[in-house]
Chains A and B, each alone.
Chain A
Amino acid sequence: MMILPKFHLMRPRSLTDALKGLAEYPGALPVAGGTDLLVSMKHGLFHPTHLVELKGVDELKRKEINDNGAWLGASLRLSQLRDDPAVQQRYPALSEAAGLVASPSLQNRGTLGGNVCLDTRCWYYNQSAFWRHSRGYCLKREGTICQAAPGSKRCYATFSSDTVPALIALRAGLKTARVYEGALQERELPLEDFFVDDGIRRNRLSPGELVVGVGLPPAEDVRSGFRKYRQRASIDYPLVSVAVALRLRDGRFHDVRVVVGALASAPILAQETMEVLEGSIPSPPLLERAAELVTKGSKPVRNQAASPAHRRHMARVLCRRLLADLADTTAARASGALAHVSRQ
């Protein structure tokens, strides 16, 4: 088996102590479920001097869902989001997405904060030290060229979180905190502004800064859903994913949000699709046209098993099918209930 490199484990009991720990040691990283980080450490991709374990920080486990919206702490387990009746009822896209991350056992360990901060992924990056040494290192770690797109100056590693597209569709706001020069700094921003389309940098988190939780606006009349394309019915990361949230009022789409995951190094808010749908009456040609636009501007590279063209094709299919399900009340309910067992 692969061995975990040595590190100091810190086990703070409060958010302040956790942030102080992260501020004090520049080589420290936070760890919650560890389902992403520990594997990468075994691969030699991260060498933290300290791991700040967030398990004992109760402030990060708060969950509040009511008519005014929701607050979801960063340490909530994905299975809690999957199973919470209030999440299922008000924010089905999030419940579906959480239930499609990896497998049930990993959903029991992985957390919301971890999934929001999930590292970008690539064939040439998520490999053992031996493999990368053999192949040649890449831009994202230790190398000077992109192995997936050798002419490129940037890294194309793929944004792979399942919950984030759902959260962005649901208009989530992100709250972060850090201790900087001894003082607590907090900031809030729309979740879509957190991400950067750069496989290396991937988000705007500063050193020592921690995701504290996610806020959601009221879900009144909002219909939402999440679809994921992967090879097998479990375990796999997305080859592409689509999240949609909208209202259906007077027979027309309103407040439409469509987000595509796993086609770039950041989630994509599909503006043109949203514009076409906004205020329109659902019809098969409309959904078809809207879905066609969902991949506009995305240029994934071949850095995993399926071809970029097929991933884009699947984004359009999933988008149209999801919109059709959400436009149809009865179908929307059924698809939500079946999301855990369906392949997409």
Chain B
Amino acid sequence: MSREFQWIGKALPRVDGVAKLTGEARYTDDLQLPGMLVGKILRSPHAHARIRSIDTSRAEALEGVKAVATGPDAPVQYGILPVAEDEYPLAIDKVRFVGDEVAAVAAIDEATAVRALSLIDVDYEILPPIFDPWEALTREDVKIHEESKVANIERKVSLTFGDVEAGFAAAAYVREDTFFKAAASHAPIEPHSALAQYRDKKLTLWTATQVPHYVHRALAKVLRMPAEQIRVIKPALGGGFGGKGEPFPLEFAACVLARKSGRPVKITYTREEVFLTHRGRHPMHMKVKTGVGKDGTITALHFESLLDGGAHGSYGVVTLYYSGQLLTAPYVVPAYQFDGARVYTNKPPCGAQRGHGGVQPRFAFEVHLDRIATDLGIDPVEIRLRNAVQPNTRTVNELRITSCGFKECLERSSRALSWTERRGKLPRGRGIGIAGGFYVSGAALPIYFNPMPHSNVRIEADRSGRVTVFCGASDIGQGSDTMLALVAAETIGIPPELVRVISADTDTTPVDLGSYSSRVTFMAGNACRIAAQEVRGRVLAAVAEVYEVPVDQLEIRDRMVPVPGNEEKPLTFAAAVALAEARGGPVSGSGGYTPPKLAGSYRGGGVGPSPAYSFGAYAAEVEVDEETGEITVQRLAAAHDLGLALNPPAAEGQIEGATVMGLGETLWEDHAFLDRGQHASPSLLEYKVPTALDVPDIEAILVESVDPEGPYGAKEVGEGSLHPSIPAVVNAVYDAVGIWMHEVPITPESVLKALRKRGRP
């Protein structure tokens, strides 16, 4: 960019900030329609059972009940991935986890709906459940999905790049470690909620979703309705983190019940139902083997993962591929082998959660790398710098690396904690550690194959000077509406407060694939920039024509369009738009973003490629109480290469939020189940998300490598920023008390156990 930014890089308040702070923002559950009914879902009390029959007659007879639905009302399978369409809105034939959806009712109030659920008689034939992924890997006599060819394996992957055998043979040192990362759940503050209205053969669904477009497609398919008769609207949304990233039973159930009853139906999940819906972080068993030269240079890597997928496919095939594909950076790996499997178990399905697929392997690899460095007497920062991936290179699995500020991340985060002066030199019980990471800025390939743009934006300006951005992107609290306003304002040359954003409504906004894979700033931002350039161009062309000045001498600045030679009669932006409108009708622009062709040349090469990657390195300082086993994280210096900070406070907020989420997974959060499949902690009291008092000082360090393809140079910041947070803490614990923790969350008991083990001769 030749010209200096007017708005980018400065602090812009969120466009929805005041409404959310004052309580004025309307979330899905706040919406009321005349005659609205309350919907409730009946769930399976069994982890694995065949449904012999369902009798809903007593529920239907209850006064106040307006509709009852069961599986056969929508007997069409769906799933977020076309390769794993293995779900029904309501169970048909089988239930696969405690909490699986069996039937739904709509009644005049919640108490009646709850009572009606108790009047539905389901005859179950109990089947043996499988909870352990190792058992699922081999057990043939029990099939959670009949379609599984071998045992209960959903997918197995083996990928090899380069000469792995030669790489290990050339290594001066080879180390192998195993790791386990427990499941975690998103725990957004807003529960899932959906409100459906069916009128004049048209269906409208207001729903708390990250992916209105995919919900739109799934509704058309499952409800067997033309897509053009369905409208999906996402109201204000209170957090997703991946947990609202696919179509859910309550959305279909609300629609089916609305269609059956002829009245609007709203279903809002209880907190327990949110946990049972899950789709969170996969529990992952991992084995890492790395060969290095004497100086710590990586010569070969072999990674194995076993993913405990729960009852359905969800995003799991992508999670599985990501778990392997995202280990070939931020360190140069010349030869790489990945073997992984995802299995079904009788637990709520796992899916995508912030940092999707890469979080568990990143924890494993970064701790493993520190162990290698320790074995070889190399400083942990040094071994990372030696292996650091360079800009404008390709990884062994063909990922195209363009902008890359990884080294700067390492240098700035370690310096923030005075690494050289303090590592290995703090009093016993205190320590510092470091870890790296990287992540995609959106996937280069769409979830369902199609040649269309991944993100589309339409912008309109009118004679009042008002500019409106229309985009299908879902603001889920991450601030994408604010980002769109900012990019449009900067590009056109007007203050952001002149820009209105209308988003995530399939009737009025062009398609954006949704808020997942850290894709919105990069893709919708680029689409928005293109659309805004067109608007700007049309306005300036009209001014140039009227005033007979060359268009390249014109600019839009501070709501004005200064015209050379016409300084005494300043032209406002609104008047300039009016000139354009007078010449060619409504002043609009549109833009679409399609990623470059980046897919790898091998089967599975579609997962991992991205138009740009973020990089990060976090340094953590901890204190370990050797008597109680408690770990206190005191400081985290979180350096993240986000290309360019469009709105620095928003970027810092993402880094802080992701770090806190990572901290929760490091020390507390364990999405576990009891021996008969009941959720061990289905409440925000028992599922231990960190409280404000548990959060350390976090210093967000914004590293700007200015990406050549990102909007104004920006890349992702919301997910990759979780990756280094877990291993940085684990590595700091080693510095503090000399123990390596290979399983997270790290409980005080596991610390004491490790300390006892270390103490033994």
Check if B678 sits within 8 Å of A341, measured CB to CB.
no
CB-CB under 8 A from B271, the residues of chain A are 1
A134 to B630, CA, bound (A): 34
A233 to B749, CA, bound (A): 17
Contacts of B98 in A (CB 8 A): 134
Whether B685 contacts A317 by the Cβ 8 Å rule is no
Shortest Cβ-Cβ A-B pairs, 5 listed: A233-B693, A134-B45, A234-B691, A135-B678, A310-B749
Cα A204 to Cα B378 in complex, Å, equals 65
Partner of B691, one of A130, A235, A341: A235
Interface: B75 (CB within 8 A) = no
Q: Give chain A interface residues in 115-143, CB to chain B under 8 Å.
A: 123, 127-128, 130-131, 133-135
Assuming the contacts A3-B114, A127-B682, A310-B749, asked whether A231 and B668 have C-beta atoms less than 8 A apart, the reply is yes
* B630 engages A343 (CB within 8 Å): yes
User: Which A residues lie within 8 Å of B748 (CB)?
Assistant: 306, 310
Distance to closest chain A CB from B129 (angstroms): 12
Q: Any chain A CB within 8 A of the CB of B466? A: no
Is A103 an interface residue, CB under 8 A from the partner?
yes
Are A236's CB and B693's CB within 8 A?
Answer: no
Any B CB within 8 A of the CB of A305: yes
Of all chain A residues, which has the CB nearest B686?
A305
- Docked complex Cα distance between A133 and B44 (Å): 10
Instruction: A25 to B191: give the CA distance in the assembly, Å.
Output: 38
Q: Whole-angstrom distance between the alpha carbons of A127 and B678 in the complex?
A: 11
Expressed in whole angstroms, the Cα–Cα distance for A229 and B114 within the complex equals: 38
> How far apart are the CA atoms of A131 and B677 in the complex, in Å?
10
| Chain B positions 674-729 with a Cβ under 8 Å from a chain A Cβ | 674, 676-682, 685-686, 688, 690-694
B682 lies within 8 A of A232 (CB): no
Given contacts A232-B690, A305-B680, 10 further A-B contacts (CB under 8 A): A1-B271, A103-B691, A128-B270, A130-B43, A131-B679, A134-B676, A232-B694, A235-B685, A236-B688, A310-B749
Question: In chain B, what residue has the closest Cβ to A133?
Answer: B45
Smallest Cβ-Cβ distance to A311: which chain B residue: B749
Number of contacts between A and B (CB, 8 Å)? 70
Could you say which interface size class chain B belongs to? Answer: 35 or more
Contact between chains at A234 and B692 (CB < 8 Å): yes
Measured CA separation A233–B690 after assembly (Å): 8
Q: Does residue A2 face the partner (Cβ distance < 8 Å to B)?
A: yes
A314 located at the interface, meaning its Cβ lies under 8 Å from any Cβ of chain B in the complex: yes
CB of A280 within 8 Å of the partner chain: no
Chain A residues near B63 (CB-CB < 8 A): none
A231 to B686, CA, bound (A): 10
A306 — nearest CB in chain B belongs to which residue? B749
Chain B residues, Cβ within 8 Å of A144: none
Q: What is the chain A residue whose CB lies nearest that of B109?
A: A3
The proximity string for B residues 225-257 relative to A, scoring 1 for CB distances below 8 Å and 0 otherwise, is 000000000000000000000000000000000
Name the interface residues of A52-91: CB closer than 8 Å to any CB of B: none
* Alpha-carbon gap, A190 to B52, bound state (A): 59
A-B contact pairs, 30 of them (CB 8 A): A1-B191, A1-B268, A2-B270, A6-B111, A103-B691, A128-B272, A128-B682, A130-B45, A131-B678, A133-B45, A134-B676, A134-B677, A134-B678, A135-B674, A135-B678, A229-B628, A232-B690, A232-B691, A232-B694, A234-B691, A234-B693, A235-B685, A235-B691, A236-B688, A237-B685, A306-B747, A306-B749, A314-B628, A317-B627, A343-B630
Q: Indicate if the CB atoms of B110 and A3 lie closer than 8 Å.
A: yes
Interface of B is mostly: loop
Inter-chain contacts of A135 with B (CB < 8 A) = 674, 676, 678
User: Is B46 on the interface with A (CB-CB < 8 A)?
Assistant: yes
Residues 292-307 of chain A, each 1 if its beta carbon lies under 8 Å from chain B, else 0: 0000000000000111
Are A236 and B685 in contact, with the CB atoms below 8 A? yes
Given A128-B270, A131-B679, A235-B685, does the pair A3, B693 have CB atoms closer than 8 Å? no
Q: How many Å lie between the Cα of A3 and that of B115 in the bound state?
A: 11
A130, B686: Cα distance in complex, Å: 17
B residues with a Cβ closer than 8 A to A are: 43, 45-46, 98, 110-111, 114, 191, 268, 270-272, 627-628, 630, 632, 668, 674, 676-682, 685-686, 688, 690-694, 747-749, 752
Closest CB in chain A relative to B293 CB, distance in Å: 43
Residues of B within 8 A of A234 (CB): 691-694
Kindly identify which residue among A103, A128, A233, A310 contacts B694, using a CB–CB cutoff of 8 Å.
A233
Contact of A3 among B111, B678, B691, B749 (CB under 8 A): B111
A131 vs B45: C-alpha distance when bound (angstroms): 8
Separation in Å of the B657 CB from the closest CB of chain A? 17
Q: Complex: how many Å from CA A234 to CA B748? A: 17
Give, as a whole number of angstroms, the nearest-CB distance from B249 to chain A. 15
Q: How far is the CA of A3 from the CA of B748 in the complex (A)?
A: 37
With A231-B668, A306-B749 in contact, is A341–B693 under 8 Å at CB? yes
- Complex Cα distance, B690 from A127, in Å, reads 21
Per the bound structure, the CA–CA distance linking A120 and B68 in Å amounts to 38
A306 contacts across to B, CB distance below 8 A: 747-749
- Complex Cα gap A185–B176 (Å): 73
Instruction: Report if A1-B270 is in contact (Cβ < 8 Å); known contacts: A131-B679, A134-B45, A135-B676.
Output: yes
Query: CA–CA, A255 to B591, complex, Å?
Result: 80
CA distance A66 to B674 in the complex (A): 51
Residues of A within 8 A of B677 (CB): 134
A223-240 near B? 1/0 per residue, CB < 8 Å: 000000101111111000
B301–chain A nearest beta-carbon distance, Å:
35
**Chain A nearest Cβ from B661, distance in angstroms:** 14
Residue of A at shortest CB range from B111? Answer: A3
CB distance from A121 to the nearest CB of B (A): 10
**Chain B residues closer than 8 Å to A128, beta-carbon distance:** 270, 272, 682
Q: Taking CB as reference atom, which chain B residue is nearest A130?
A: B43
Shortest Cβ distance from residue B39 to the other chain A in the assembled complex, whole angstroms? 13
Q: Is the CB of B682 within 8 A of A131?
A: yes
Closest to A230 in B: B688
Contacts of A131 in B (CB 8 A): 272, 678-679, 682
Residues of chain A lying within 8 A (CB to CB) of residue B693: 232-234, 341
Residues in B whose Cβ lies below 8 Å from that of A305: 680-681, 686
Docked Cα-Cα span, A123 to B678, in Å, equals 11
Min CB distance, A47 to chain B, in Å? 13
* Bound form: Cα–Cα A196–B674 in Å: 29
In the bound assembly, the distance between CA atoms of A341 and B272 in angstroms comes to 30
Do B692 and A232 touch (CB < 8 A)?
no
- Chain B residues within an 8 Å CB radius of A343: 630, 632
Taking the nearest CB of chain A, how far is it from the CB of B405, in angstroms? 34
Quick one: given A130-B43, A131-B678, A134-B46, are A307 and B749 in contact (CB under 8 Å)? yes
Q: How far is the CA of A229 from the CA of B625 in the complex (A)?
A: 13
Shortest A262–chain B CB gap in Å is 15
A100 to chain B, nearest CB (A): 11
Q: Complex formed: what's the CA distance from A237 to B686 in Å?
A: 9
What is the CA–CA distance of A135 and B675 in the complex, to the nearest angstrom? 10
Whether the Cβ atoms of B668 and A232 lie closer than 8 Å is yes
Is A233 a contact partner of B272 (Cβ separation < 8 A)?
no
Q: Looking at the assembled complex, report how far the CB atom of A7 sits from the nearest CB atom of chain B, in whole angstroms.
A: 12
A123 neighbours in B (Cβ, 8 Å):
680
Interface residues of A in 199-235 (CB under 8 A from B): 229, 231-235
A310 to B752, CA, bound (A): 10
Q: Which residues of A contact B692 (CB under 8 A)?
A: 234
Q: Give A324-344 as 1s and 0s: 1 = Cβ < 8 Å from B's Cβ atoms.
A: 000000000000000001010
Say yes or no: B691 contacts A233, CB within 8 Å: yes
A45 and B726 alpha carbons, distance in the complex (Å): 39
User: A206 to chain B: closest CB distance in Å?
Assistant: 31
Q: How far is the CA of A128 from the CA of B680 in the complex (A)?
A: 12
Docked CA distance A6–B115 (Å): 13
CA distance A100 to B282 in the complex (A): 34
Report chain A residues within 8 Å CB of B191: 1
Please name all residues of chain A whose beta carbon is closer than 8 Å to the beta carbon of B110 when the two chains form the complex.
3
Per-residue contact bits, chain A 1-39, to B (CB 8 Å; 1 contact, 0 not): 111001000000000000000000000000000000000
**B8 → A minimal CB distance (Å):** 38
Q: How far is the CB of A338 from chain B (nearest CB, A)?
A: 13
Task: Return chain A residues, CB-CB under 8 Å to B686.
Answer: 305
**How many angstroms between the C-alpha atoms of A172 and B65 in the bound complex?**
54
